[in-house]
Amino acid sequence: MNEELAKIAIIGCGRVSGHHCRSVMETAGAELIAVCDLEIAKAHAYEEQFGAKAFTDYRKMLVAHPEINTVAIVTPSGMHFEHGLEIIEKFRKNLIVEKPTFMRPSQMEQAYATASKYGLNLFPVFQNRHNLAVRRVKQGLDSGELGRVRIVSVRVRWCRPQRYYDLAPWRGTFAMDGGCLTNQGVHHIDLMRHFGGEVARVCASMSTLGADIEVEDAAVGSVSFNSGALGSVEVTTAARPIDYEASLSLVCENGLAQIGGIAVNELQIYTPDPSACTPNSEDFSGNVYGHGHGQLYQEIVDFYREGRPFSVSREDALSTIRLLNAFYVADERGGWTQVAAAGDSGRLGRPDETLANLYRTPT
């Protein structure tokens, strides 16, 4: 693309958007042009903090600033597809899309196909892949130091009380949010694939135990990888009274690797080389998002300036969203489900025009 700068606009000014703003400001070769939110006070807060122009209408923003080449979609999850597709088709901008990228595999396929049609690019956000602990374990797998994976286990034990879901109408809904597996667990599902390879089939059971919401706040699942390895998933936001852990462990033929901490930020066990644990652990206290967004924006700058491939490919991102949906399909069907044939969940991302209208910018 050979752009001199990644010229960024951010749509949606919630908490994680501030982390995007800081990451852009700290990345040489990236420039924060504008921020947008339906609530102007939220946009003004980031305008004052970061110097970006504030808007309530992203269409007016993109007309006023044609130099913007990349738009970060940080709106409610169920709006990612609608917002992203319009920005690609009408404004011809590249997209950065926060987790869970899109709610359904069919949406992911359509978005990538449309971007390809116009020669544009999608950059899914899976920032935990950049954690030092994650990178060290991936190095151990790629080099053969750990050997073949035998069992992968995911554990997310977080606390999201009723007041969390009451913060906004989109929270706790299948149309706009998804439950603990989609909102909180998607990064860990992605890392399960990142480490263990593609998954053949899954079985899952979900329940709502700690809040008055329609989505699950507790999910457990079993996984069978294409390689023959096995996996287990335990994700909940019904832990009380605080967040406890977000961890992942791998039993491999040459040893055990375990990543823990609040957001897979600590290499706790690495038996092939125990001395690797301390230098590959990070302190995420006060910053559960970690440092990976900065690495993401650096990757985008390198992509524009040097043509380096972005680390998350179309098939990579699509496989994670397929796997995510397969867990819901397995719960809906009450049995083992082939990931490749699962398709879209009947619940996740289902249309809700009344709810969507709360987050649409009037034309």
Give a yes or no: residue 355 inside a domain.
Answer: no
153 and 228 housed in the same domain: yes
Q: Return the CATH number at 54.
A: 3.40.50.720
Same domain membership, residue 263 and residue 244: yes
> Which H helix or E strand runs over 249?
strand 245-252
DSSP secondary structure letter of residue 4: S
Let me know whether 176 and 250 are in one domain: yes
Same domain for 139 and 72: no
Residue 205 pLDDT: 98
> DSSP assignment, residue 290?
T
151: exposed, middle or buried (C-beta count within 10 Å: 0-12, 13-18, 19+)? middle
Q: What is the pLDDT of residue 262?
A: 87
Contact between residue 282 and residue 290 where contact means Cβ atoms under 8 Å apart: yes
In a domain, 350, yes or no: no
- 49: containing domain: 6-125+294-308
Specify whether 83 is located in the same domain as 148.
no
Domain annotation covers residue 24? yes
Together in a domain, 208 and 321: yes
Tally the domains of the chain: 2
Q: What is the pLDDT of residue 1?
A: 47
What one-letter code names the amino acid at 151? I
Whole-number pLDDT of residue 363: 84
Is 0.95 topped by the overall pTM?
yes
Q: How far is CA 340 from the centre of its chain?
A: 21
Non-local CB neighbours of 330 within 8 Å, separated by 6+ positions: 202, 203, 204, 221, 336, 337, 342
pLDDT of residue 154: 98
The predicted pLDDT at position 134 comes to 98
**pLDDT confidence of residue 286:** 76
Say yes or no: 242 and 218 in one domain. Answer: yes
Residues lower than pLDDT 50 in the chain:
1
Residues 183 and 133 in one domain: yes
Query: What pLDDT sits at residue 3?
Result: 55
**Whether residue 140 is found in the same domain as residue 165:** yes
Residue 82 forms part of a structural domain:
yes
Residue 358 belongs to some domain of the structure: no
CATH of the domain at 257: 3.30.360.10
Q: What is the pLDDT of residue 290?
A: 86
Query: Tell me, what's the pLDDT at 287?
Result: 81
Is 262 in the same domain as 143?
A: yes
Q: Are 60 and 201 within one domain?
A: no
Asked whether residue 23 is assigned to any structural domain, the reply reads yes
Asked whether residue 287 is assigned to any structural domain, the reply reads no
Contacts of 93 by beta carbon, 8 Å cutoff, 6+ apart: 62, 68, 69, 70, 71, 87, 120
Q: Is residue 36 within 8 Å of 62, Cβ to Cβ?
A: no
The answer to whether position 351 is within a domain reads no
Shared domain for 82 and 198, answered yes or no, is no
